[in-house]
Amino acid sequence: MVFTRRSFSKTLCCHLPLVIGSLSFKPNLLEAQPLNKPTSGSELGLNTWSLRSLKKDRAIPTIVKVMKETGMRNCQLLFSHAEPEEFDPDFAAMFSANGTAPTQQERDAQKRKSEARTAWRLSVPMTYFEAIRTRFVRQGLRIRSYGSSFGATLQEVDRVFLMAKTLGATVVNGRLPETQTDMVAAAAQRHGLFAGIQVSDPQILKLQLRASPNLSADPDLGDLTKAGVSALEFVKEHLGRISSIDLKDAMIKGGSVPFGTGDAHMREVLEFLSRNSSPVEIYIDCDYPGTGNSTSEVKRCVCYIRELISASCRGH
């Protein structure tokens, strides 16, 4: 499929504010903010999945640069931008339209990589993550959430939350198998953090959220749309339990597309958040063809969302 981008109006309004409602940025970047603390609106940040193809050493300086150039102060840091490169998954294969089932040799290799990652997580000193956090804080930026797998054992889950806490995050966002719900919820409570569940099945999510107030939803507008779920209706129904929202556009039962050309109801979701003065974090998450290491695509997405936010503010 060939994707075309809807032309952006004027100069993409890169000077427009990054706020919904009357938000002002939090002055203390190191102070953990509880998810239920009342605020005047949602702040736009970067999900570094948008730059997933960049390896760690190159990724962090690039992430810092694009955040400063676009005025974003918060981010959700992707695990591969913190962990060593040898543990990186094959992101290109994940987006292949003609993907084939992995061979036994490939499965064995992935198992060895997973075991090596677990061993690293259980042994790495927290000074490693303190150094990453410092690189952001010195630039007036914050890692507000950490996008990662939770791990398969209690020890690994505990370490993932400790890693996130050391980075300065208040939430770990990831896929959460139903069988691990109680274990992850207990770990989140022990560390005084939240676990944001990346939604795959809304019905299972409802059951998981009942397990603990330390569990929240981390919906991706594009992924919901791909699954045939109305992103707008989902946000309306679960707003009180949503910690963050990934802004991605997609076609119903289709793939990711440039912002503004799909069916994810971005405008309507932002208008709804504005009317409710919601404190939910919102993250730029572009993964349509041409993204992965392109800072220019990230900037285009930022400008498009700024335009929608500005229009939403003018309308209310």
pLDDT per residue as tens, the chain (316 positions): 333 333 322 322 333 333 333 232 232 323 333 333 333 467 899 999 999 999 888 999 999 999 999 999 999 999 999 999 888 776 655 554 555 677 888 888 888 888 999 999 999 999 999 999 999 999 999 999 999 999 989 999 999 999 999 999 999 999 999 999 999 999 999 999 999 999 989 999 999 999 999 999 999 999 999 999 999 999 999 999 999 999 999 999 999 999 999 999 999 999 999 999 888 999 999 999 999 999 999 999 999 999 998 875 565 5
What single-letter amino acid sits at 248? Answer: K
Tokens found for residue 192: 């005084």
pLDDT of amino acid 21: 34
pLDDT of amino acid 300: 97
The β-bridge relationship of strands 171-174 and 194-197 is parallel
Tokens found for residue 151: 């791990």
The β-bridge relationship of strands 171-174 and 142-147 is parallel
pLDDT of amino acid 309: 86
Strand partners, 196: 173, 216
Tokens found for residue 217: 């939803």
Cα distances (Å, whole numbers) of residue 258 to 200, 268, 272, 297? 22, 17, 22, 9
Cα distances (Å, whole numbers) of residue 169 to 113, 172, 214? 26, 7, 14
pTM of this structure:
0.83
pLDDT of amino acid 13: 34
pLDDT of amino acid 39: 37
pLDDT of amino acid 4: 31
Strand extents, DSSP E, the chain = 44-47, 74-78, 142-147, 171-174, 194-197, 215-217, 244-247, 281-284
What backbone phi and psi angles, to 5 degrees, belong to 51? Answer: -120, 35
pLDDT of amino acid 180: 97
Tokens found for residue 289: 């063809």
What backbone phi and psi angles, to 5 degrees, belong to 147? Answer: -95, 110
pLDDT of amino acid 314: 60
CA dist 255 and 262 (Å) reads 9
Tokens found for residue 303: 């400008």
CA dist 290 and 302 (Å) reads 16
Statement: 44-87+112-314 belongs to CATH 1.10.3720.10:
no
Angle at 246 between CA 182 and CA 185, to 5 degrees: 10
pLDDT of amino acid 168: 98
pLDDT of amino acid 35: 36
Q: Where are the domains of the chain?
A: 44-87+112-314
Largest CA distance in the chain: 57
Tens digit of each residue's pLDDT (9 = 90 or more) over 183-222: 999 999 999 999 999 998 999 999 999 999 999 999 999 9
Tens digit of each residue's pLDDT (9 = 90 or more) over 31-71: 333 333 333 467 899 999 999 999 888 999 999 999 999 99
- Identify the DSSP state of 102: P
pLDDT of amino acid 315: 56
Q: Is 52 helix (H, G, I), strand (E, B) or coil?
A: coil
| Angle of the 154-167 helix axis to the 181-191 helix axis, nearest 10 | 40
